[in-house]
Amino acid sequence: MTNIPGALLSVAMFLTAPQVLAVDKSHPDSPEFDPVARMKRFDPSWEPPDVSAEDVAKHPLGSWENPVRTHGPTGQKRYLAKLTCPNGERPGYRRVGSRDGIYGFHVDGFEVLCGKRISLIYMDLYHPNYIENSPVPGFGLAPAGSD
Q: What is the pLDDT of residue 26?
A: 66
Whole-model pTM: value is 0.75
Task: Read off the pLDDT of residues 89-110 as tens digits, 9 standing for 90 and up.
Answer: 999 999 999 999 888 888 999 9
Model confidence band, residue 130 (pLDDT cutoffs 50, 70, 90): confident
> What are residue 26's phi and psi, to 5 degrees?
-90, -5
Please say whether the beta carbons of 43 and 104 come within 8 A: no
